Amino acid sequence: MPSSDASVITVLVVDDHPLLRDGVAFVLTGEPDMRIVANAHDGRSAIEAFREHRPDVTLMDLQLPDMSGIDAMRVIRSEFPAACILILTTYRGDVQVARALKQGASGFLLKDSLRKELRDAIRSAKAGRRVLSPDAASDLAGYMSGDALSERELQVLHSAARGLGNKQIAAELGVSEDTVKSHMKSILAKLDANDRTHAVVTAVKRGIMQI
Amino acid sequence: MPSSDASVITVLVVDDHPLLRDGVAFVLTGEPDMRIVANAHDGRSAIEAFREHRPDVTLMDLQLPDMSGIDAMRVIRSEFPAACILILTTYRGDVQVARALKQGASGFLLKDSLRKELRDAIRSAKAGRRVLSPDAASDLAGYMSGDALSERELQVLHSAARGLGNKQIAAELGVSEDTVKSHMKSILAKLDANDRTHAVVTAVKRGIMQI
DNA sequence: GGGGGACTCACTCTTTAGGGGGAAGACATC
DNA sequence: GATGTCTTCCCCCTAAAGAGTGAGTCCCCC
């Protein structure tokens, strides 16, 4: 999906914060080899904007009002498998980043990236290279290597965060209370948490879970 | 503390995200009556920048790497009581906003404010008016009217979020375990939570607490 | 085929959490 | 003075959580 002018990288910016979009615009202003062709503030408009403009590079926030950036990316890449999408993330150590990379993101950038990093990232993405913010990359390595919670454990923790007791969680998941307790023990051990409250907080801090 | 040119509003931007600072710069570029005289990425440099430039209006993020925006504001206003400081906040319903207003902030703006809102807010602040983002104002009213947690209750909840049990919290606060239990009962009632885990999650969701 | 997770369930045990009620002093407000 | 909230503390009780230990079935990978 080339742009109309082969020498210019066309960019779509997807973020729900106008000021951040303006910041990107500011950084890219004056760069002769890139041009913002569209902005979007949510997932739906991002998908529409992509269909209309076929940008070379899309900067996509993970947190959008209507859907996650990952879902928007999935839709776009299902239609345009060659779409080049860079994830913008606010928080260091966001576990979503790993999921996004698995699903074809071209890389990710912390929102507190410097101007040069942003410009370099866009050019690298256009060139087909994977782009990883150095700061974020170390975090990624951190929780990739660390004890990851299993799917079932995540389900248990999510239910616990909703204020459910072990018995209620067991009913919800269709298992025995002992099983839930067993999962919870693993969770506490993996997260090095003192109790379920601490576990939820730790998981949120590490980006393992969103609340 | 007037600027060198009385017809121009001098602005100091304090935020740890370069892209957001650039966004503000982008929005203010082309406005003949305002000029960014300095940027700062943390509290310390914000205070220094204020001393050096005496801006008419300061845009201050609440979350800074080295100290809270409120602390930075307090230092600045202790030296320059007439300092005009607008709080920038990312999250709707941030309870910190109420505290900032009490301590002399000129107003607050959500970071997803539109360009016009930002420009208007700066001019209003310079003119001595209080500025409240409409969206944020309703949130403010919401948790002002709702069952607010007392200081002590917040302390208990914070300790609980760190994985402490009632006994440990009691030791930390220098009170009896029964007192902590009593506070926790109030917390659960006020937040309509099933247990402490749910209470922490609810408090974070409502912006009452940060983790 | 063996090792290692993940998921499941069971048992016992101690500690903790949470619900109920009551009460007192400090302090501000009306 | 009365009202109300905050903070502190006490009693009771049941239900729940967490620690320890063991064990069965999967399934994947080496």
Q: Rounded to a whole number, what is the distance in Å from the CA of A76 to chain B's nearest CA?
A: 25
Which nucleotides of strand C are protein-proximal, with an atom < 7 A from a CB?
Answer: 5-11, 16-23
Question: Could you tell me the pLDDT band of residue B131, with boundaries at 50, 70 and 90?
Answer: confident
Q: Strands, DSSP E only, in B69-119?
A: 85-89, 107-110
According to DSSP, the residues that pair with B10 across neighbouring strands are B35
pTM: 0.66
Closest residue by Cα to residue A130 from A111, A104, A110, A112: A104
CA dist A177 → A43, A156, A158, A182 (Å): 39, 11, 16, 9
How much is the pLDDT for B200? 96
Per-residue model confidence (pLDDT) at position B146? 52
* Nearest in space to B29 (alpha carbons), one of A18, A19, A16, A26: A26
pLDDT per position as a tens digit, A41-79: 999 999 999 999 999 999 998 888 777 788 888 889 888
Taking 50 as the threshold, does the pLDDT of residue B2 lie above it? Answer: no
The burial of B186, by beta-carbon neighbours within 10 Å (0-12 exposed, 13-18 middle, 19 or more buried), is given as: middle
pLDDT the model gives residue A5: 52
Compute the mean pLDDT over every residue in chain A, rounded to the nearest whole number. Answer: 84
Cβ of residue B152 near strand D, that is under 7 Å? yes
pLDDT tens profile B39-50:
999 999 999 999
Closest-CA residue of A relative to B159 is: A198
Return mean pLDDT, chain B. 84
Where are the alpha helices (H) located in B127-207, listed in sequence order?
A: 134-145, 151-161, 166-173, 177-191, 196-205
Whether the per-residue pLDDT at B142 is higher than 60: the answer is no
Predicted pLDDT of residue A98: 67
What pLDDT score was predicted for residue A187? 94
Percentage above 90 pLDDT, chain A? 40
How many angstroms separate the CA of residue B207 from the nearest CA in chain A? 12
Element (H, E) at B14: strand B9-14
Say if the Cβ atoms of A211 and B193 lie within 8 Å: no
- Per-residue pLDDT reduced to its tens digit, B170-203: 999 999 999 999 999 999 999 999 999 999 999 8
D6 C1': nearest CA residue: B150
What is the Cα–Cα distance from B125 to B107, expressed in whole angstroms? Answer: 8
pLDDT tens-digit profile of B101-111?
767 778 878 87
Instruction: Find the mean pLDDT for residues A92-103.
Output: 65
B70 reaches A (C-beta below 8 A): no
pLDDT of residue A2: 45
Q: Which of these, B47, B148, B64, lies nearest to B98 by C-alpha position?
A: B148
> Does residue B188 approach strand C to less than 7 Å at its CB?
yes
Q: Could you report the per-residue pLDDT of A3-48, keeping only the tens digit for each?
A: 445 579 999 999 988 888 888 998 898 889 999 999 999 999 999 9
Token pair of A8 as six digits: 């210019």
pLDDT of residue A1: 46
Rounded-to-integer distance, Cα B124 and Cα B131, Å: 7
Distance from C-alpha of B21 to C-alpha of B19, rounded to nearest angstrom = 5
Comparing B169 with A2, the larger pLDDT belongs to: B169
Report the protein residue whose CA lies nearest the C1' of nucleotide C16: B165
| pLDDT number for residue B117 | 85
State residue A145's pLDDT score: 43
